[in-house]
Amino acid sequence: MQVSSSYEIPFTLGNAIPLCDPLGLRVNKKRLYDMIEQLVRLNGEKYNDAVVKGVFIRIYYESKDSLKPLDFPNISYSYKELIDRICNVIKDSEIVSGNLPEVKSLLFKKSRHISRITSIKSKTKQCRPFIVADLETVVDNNVHNPYAAGYLVVKPGDDLTSLPSYSIQTFFSENHKTFYPNFKDRSDRILFEFLSNLEESVIKYNKNDQRKTSRIRTVYFHNFSRFDGIFILRYYAERGNKYKIKTLLRNHKLYELKVYLGDHLLFRFRDSLTLLPSSLKTLGKTLCPELGSKGSIPHEELSVSNIHLKSVDLINYLRQDIVLLGGVMLKAQQIYWKKYSIDIEDVMTLSSLSLKIFRQNFFDDETFHINIPNRNQDTFIRRGYYGGHVDVYKPYGENLYYYDVNSLYPFIMKSYPMPCGIPVWKNNLQSVELDSLFGFIEAYVVCPTNISHPFLPYKDKSGTLLFPTGKFIGVFYSEELKFARELGYHVIPLRGYLFDKKESPFDGFISQLYESRLEAKKDGDEAMTFIYKILMNSLYGRFGMNPESTVTEICNQKKYSELMKKDNFQSAEKLTDHYYIVNYVSNKSFADNNDDDWKVPKMMAVHLSAAITACARIHMYPYISRTDCYYTDTDSIVLGSPLPDDMISSMELGKFKLECHVKKGIFLAPKSYMLEIEDDGLIIKHKGPAKDLVTSKWFKDQLADLSLTEQVPTIANFRIDWKKLQIGRKDILIKLALPQSTKRESVFDSNNIWIDTRPIDVIDLGNQDANIIFKFELLKTNEESVSQSTTEGQSTTEGQNTTEGQNTTLTEGQNTTLQPTLYKTKNEAKKDYDNSKIHRPKPDE
């Protein structure tokens, strides 16, 4: 259907109709057709403000042999006659506008939709060995090419502090200089030797493992997704006659590369950075300091002509990186196995690891039902998933206080009730009290202009998240609508999905991890402090993963031909004689894509992520709304005066900790600020390609002259060319100027100096709902108009500053623009209108 707010949703009309009666006898088809016809008519009356865009009939079966097409007895209609009959019913209904699209049928297709997230038990009996590896590159003709590679087999229980020298296999391009004068040939040679030797080692190791329980499956690179993986992928794509490959490549990020020899999986390459999101230098210092620090080499000074002179240093640097990565992954594996009986080799990302720990150790699916939304539920609720609040309120300040919340999202997950159970769609909520609703509501809201720091979010056409004044329609979590109403917003609920309200299922998960983190911090255990922190902060985002993504697939010609025909196809290039690289969008919106192409994301529950972020905005608003708030970024605020002592604690979950005193602060735009702090310290944040180019002086100059711009030459060192599977270096010009932000309007003093900001005013009444809103506005306008048209001679109370007998009727030339106050419900407004017996004013009045 296309509903009145101009968006489309798939909608299921009631429960499935059984094809057998209670005795197991098949129901007569004529009766089935009549039931379908009745169902369509009833729902046509119920949703009389919607337009039918397409009809899908899906028939489910319990087993493949339990039902065969068209073998009912007493067939009254053919399949075509059934479709024609339904079409006629819909065309006769008032809900259809224009021609009906093609009616499609999905017959005898078993649903694969997973309906809920469940608790699980550990199936892993022991930790597996794995391999860590690394590539080192040098730029040749502005393209990165490997000059060294190496790997190390790591087994559970290994002591990496006393490794034999032969444990790390290394390969160096300049060892082949005699036979391969061209550097590109030498680079290709060592990549071949590296991967061939790796293959032989894995096959040999796994062949000796008779139990098949501790075979090597995974090879880790740190930053495989955006660097090392490009070279590995190109290598196997060029050898499609020998190997088969399968990639998991989403939004131009290579999460996994599986390599097959025939139908047998050789190994899979993965990124350790997606499990441990930090630099190798920091990870090594935190998790395994006993292995020494990460080395350093002057990469900018390396060239093809001098790497042979630095061979010893370069190989030692490579070996240390491999040892550190092995130590980091081994320590992480030991920690997660000991604490949660989970082998990190069984998961691919930190968020999936966090979810697995939650489901296996803390979640009780009998007391809390986490529903996995279907397509229309996800599409609707995701409109209310806004994320954090980032805004600049004042551009400059001195003697400020920078505060952070202790684990904001974990605090919300622990402390606030969460939406539970199967969502129930309610199409007409205009007459329902807001206090009785719990879920995600499409509502018409009015933010008064006297609120200088508005609370409710709004996304403009470009996708920018604003916090404006004005009148607009959006999808919001019910609790933030109730909170907004207390601030002075006017709210009219329209429609939405309602949930059960239950205590959070994350209480135990967050409580134990936070308490464990405090203990580890007290004991000086940096490794465990780090682990507990990243686990707590990773779970909520897993539920809110966007099902729509850009998929890059390396495929053969047959699959390439299939993907080319799909509506969601974007682009394709021929890589080799055996492989094509194809880009397409998965899970596009319903308007653009066949519902049959929807693939339910595993373990996704966007309503939880949306509820958590909404409640976080509620928690932060009392501090954001202060007149001395200069800047906010999700869980942090910069204030002009200190918070009370009872709000400050470096240990208590959800309270603030003072990060620093700010001597001077310049706030140019969201994610772009400079702080001069005590002891001549400096904090600079700047989002975008110029983040490494801005300085304290640049911020000061930019604030003094907002029109200041300059072109700064720089080098983009790691640009991925997905068509050629190359990483290149390119000289580029970066424009340094005031970051463009349309989130708030700038306010200037009489000397044209930027001193403040004010909210943007928005008017967005949707589509057909504008008619509903107009009725509310008109009723209140009429009421206020009459209140100003009191009869001549109306008495006034003693002490009023009015002339006795004053006529308050509007006269020609007066401003007749009224700002109506909206009623909470439609019934309330209609009742006032009916009782008042007011006639609509004539145009000249």
Residue pLDDT, tens place only, 698-736: 999 999 999 999 888 888 888 888 888 899 988 888 888
Cβ neighbour number for residue 594 with a 10 Å cutoff: 15
* Residue 663 to residues 89, 626, 677, Cα–Cα distance (Å): 72, 20, 5
Is pLDDT above 90 for 436?
yes
Tokens of 548: 């729509």
Most confident of 196-210, 545-559, 673-687: 673-687
Residue 593: which pLDDT band, with cuts at 50, 70 and 90? very low
Residue carrying the six token digits 């309120």:
393
What DSSP string describes 405-427?
A: ETTHHHHHHHHS-EEEEEEEEES
Whole-number pLDDT of residue 825: 42
Identify the sign of the CA torsion 657, 399, 696, 758: positive
Q: Looking at per-residue confidence, does 617 or 81 come out higher?
A: 617
For residue 87, the model assigns a pLDDT of 65
The closest alpha carbon to 307, from 145, 140, 147, belongs to 147
The number of CA neighbours under 13 Å toward the Cβ of 389 is 30
| pLDDT interval class at 592 (50, 70, 90) | very low
In this predicted structure, which of 61-75, 394-408, 503-517, 712-726 has the lowest mean pLDDT?
61-75
Q: Is the pLDDT of residue 580 over 70?
A: yes
**C-alpha 162: how far from its chain's center?**
43
Phi, psi (deg, nearest 5) at residue 669: -170, 165
pLDDT at 289 over 50: yes
Q: Once rounded to an integer, what is the mean pLDDT over residues 583-594? A: 60
The predicted structure's pLDDT at residue 546: 82
Sign of CA dihedral 640, 641, 646, 648: positive
pTM of the model: 0.78
Distant-in-sequence, close-in-space partners of 115: CB < 8 Å, separation ≥ 6? 371, 372
805 backbone dihedrals φ, ψ, rounded to 5°: 85, 10
Beta strands in 333-468 (DSSP E): 370-371, 390-392, 396-405, 418-426, 439-447, 458-459, 465-466
Identify the pLDDT of residue 385. Answer: 95
Q: Give yes or no for residue 196 having a pLDDT over 90.
A: yes
- Token look-up 């009290």 returns 433
- Check whether 101 has a pLDDT greater than 70: no
d(C-alpha 552, C-alpha 177), whole Å: 36
Q: What is the DSSP letter of 742?
A: -
Listed in sequence order, the residues at least 6 apart from 416 whose beta carbon sits closer than 8 Å to its beta carbon are 479, 504, 611, 612, 615
- Residue identified by tokens 């030498």 is 186
- C-alpha closest to that of 111 among 607, 604, 596: 596
CA neighbor of 546 nearest in space, from 384, 418, 382: 382
Strand partners, 440: 477, 497
Q: Considering just the CA atoms, what is the radius of gyration of the chain in Å?
A: 32
Picking from 618, 363, 609, the residue whose alpha carbon sits closest to that of residue 506 is: 363
Q: What domains does the chain contain, in order, with CATH numbers?
A: 29-111 (no CATH), 130-347 (3.30.420.10), 549-597 (no CATH), 767-786+816-845 (no CATH)
Residue-level pLDDT at 835: 42
Contact 53, 95 (CB under 8 A): no
Q: Which residues pair with 8 in a beta bridge?
A: 2
Q: Which residue has better confidence, 496 or 250? A: 496
Task: Tokens 């907002």: give the residue.
Answer: 706
Whether 655 contacts 648, CB under 8 Å: yes
For residue 541, pLDDT beyond 80? yes
CA distance 269 to 223: 11
* Cβ-Cβ contacts under 8 Å for 348 (sequence gap 6 or more): 248, 255, 256, 270, 274, 275
pLDDT tens string 445-485: 999 999 999 999 999 888 899 999 999 999 999 999 999 99
Separation in Å, CA 729 to CA 60, 133, 141: 54, 23, 9
